[in-house]
Every structure is written in C-alpha cells, then in structure tokens.
Amino acid sequence: MTAYQQVATKLFLYILLVPITMSNSWSSTGSNQDTASYLDSKADNADKCIDDSKPAVSSCSSAEDSLCTDDGPVASSSNAVVLYRPTALHAFRQETKKYSFVKTELVIKQKWEDIGVAAVVWDAAVVLAEYLEKNSEEFSLRGKRVVELGAGTGLVSMVVALLGAKVIATDRKLALQFLQENIQDNFPCVKDENGLCEQDDKRISVKELDWGQNHKQFHPIFDYIVGADIVYIEETFEHLLETMLHLTSSSRKSRILLSCRIRYERDERFLKMMRSHFVVKEIHHDDKRDIKIYVGDRER
C-alpha cells in the first residue's frame, strides 16, 4: 500500500467502522489517549490484513459490520468504544460479487486494495437497488434521465438502466476507469463498424463529477439524482449540497433519492442542510442492514 492509501484506509476505518457509543455492557477506566492508541493499532492491523496475501477468513456476513481483528468487542474510556465483530474485511476483498436484478445477473468487480471505498459494493447501494426494483411502479424510471453521484462500482446505475432509464454514472477521476470497466462488463453495447458503441444503444455513460468543482458542466435536466452511502465525510457536505441544488435547478419535478446508513450526528446535519432547500422524507428503512432511503423534492 502507498502512504496515501494507508492514511485513507485509517480515515475510512475511523469514519465508517468504529462507532463510538455509550454502553453499559462494556466499561473501562482507560483514558482517551488509550482509546486513540487502540484505534490506531486496529487501523494498522487492518492495513496488514489488506496487504496480507493469505486468504481472508471471516465468520461475518458483511464487511461493514466489523474491523480486521481477532479480538472481540472492546471498550475503552468512559464513552465505551465498541468494535464490531471480528473479520479480515473478507467481503471487501472478494474480487467479484454477483447480484440478480430485473431478471439479469450482474457481476460486480471489487478493487478494495487498489482503489479503496469507491471500489466495493456497499449495503446502501444494494438496498436502494432492491427498493427501486420492488417499487418500480411508484418510481417509474422508464424513459427517465438519471444521474448517480459517487457511483463507485456502478451497481445502482446498472439497476436503474435495467429499469428503463438513461443514466449518467459519475464519480471522481480516480474511480472512473474501474467504474467504466464494471459497466462495460455488464452492459456490452452494440458496436458500429469502427468498434465504437452506438450512442442510441448506450443506456449508461460514465463521466467525472467532482462535487462543487465541475458540477456546472452538467445541464440540470435530470428527473432523478441518486446516491448510495455518499454522506459520511463532513468536509464534502457543502459541495455535495451545492451539486444537488444545481442538478435540480431547472425542473420542479427533479427528485433526489438518497440511500445511507446514518452513523453519526454529522450525517444528520447533512439531512438538516438538505431540508433548508428540499422537502426531505424517509421512505424506507431496512432494519436488518440499518439503511434508510430518503426522497428529496426541491422547494420552489
């Protein structure tokens, strides 16, 4: 791993995999400094697991539920830090994951070790895809124009396309080639005599979108703006909201569909920011995976 990837991995583990909760079940007299040292050691251990060439062994069904450690739940400080169940991030290290949507098998490649969080399938993406398929009459996507923010592996964009929409899957430059490969593997387009995809047949296109930076290059013509687990880094919130506002600026009917796991108070703060400009409603809660789906309609 490069030094940058190691730092990104530690940040990822702090933000997504180590919830700090009050707990009476786990108590300790350790200091806050002890807690920080412990978390650093676990992040370092996760780096070793990721770099380890040996097969990962895990009894956990989801990599989001656990840290890479052989220890059980551990608490430290007066605010108990409860670590998730043991794992070696096995689900993230799987090279491919298979799904069936709209009578179609999708094979999604993952590259956690090379790209990180943009190259794994998150529960929020699966839940959103399932919800859209199950509620295809209510959210009629056939013929609609859709843009996905932070598309990552492209699963949501693919399912939306299978449901009949014309989709632009977007992400930052680092993730684009991988995103494009996943989509091409699952959506081989009809090619012309020059070997190029015929545009009329291309249901999904891939474009770079860096929130708050180049969002104005996208004409606000979309019926739906969708995103799965894109709310977790507070520093991006203003840029994400700015991008949403631009993409919904031309049509009163533009809607936002946001699927996410609310992990911390800061995630709730983003929803509060959204409510200053959108009418935001929770329309689904997957209890098992603790994923919520929100719909946002622009206030005019």
Tens of pLDDT along the chain (300 residues) come to: 555 455 455 455 544 544 433 333 333 333 333 333 333 333 343 333 333 333 333 333 344 543 333 333 333 333 333 333 434 467 778 899 999 999 999 999 999 888 888 999 999 999 999 999 999 989 899 999 999 999 999 999 999 999 999 999 999 999 999 999 999 999 876 666 776 666 555 789 999 999 999 999 999 999 999 999 999 899 999 999 999 999 999 877 899 999 999 888 999 999 999 999 999 999 999 999 999 999 999 876
Sorted by sequence, the CB contacts under 8 Å of residue 30 that are 6+ apart come out as 38, 76, 77
**Of 194, 205, 138, residue with least CA distance to 169:** 205
Q: How many CB atoms lie within 10 A of CB 81?
A: 23
Long-range contacts, stretch 3-10, CB < 8 angstroms, 24+ apart: 5/116, 6/47, 8/116, 8/117, 9/43, 9/46, 9/47, 9/50, 9/116, 10/40, 10/43, 10/44, 10/46, 10/47
Q: Could you tell me how far CA 72 lies from the centroid of its own chain?
A: 27
CB 31 within 8 A of CB 77: yes
Sequence-distant (≥ 6) Cβ neighbours of residue 111 within 8 angstroms: 119, 178
- Which residues sit opposite 86 in a β-bridge? 67
Axis-axis angle for helices 155-162, 123-134 (nearest 10): 10
Strands (DSSP E) contained in 229-272 are: 255-260
Structure-token pair, residue 185: 């593997």
Q: How far apart are CA 291 and CA 165, in angstroms?
A: 24
Identify residue 293 by its one-letter amino acid code.
I
Instruction: Tell me what pLDDT residue 252 has.
Output: 72
* Look-up of token digits 């809607």: 255
| Amino acid sitting at position 256 | I
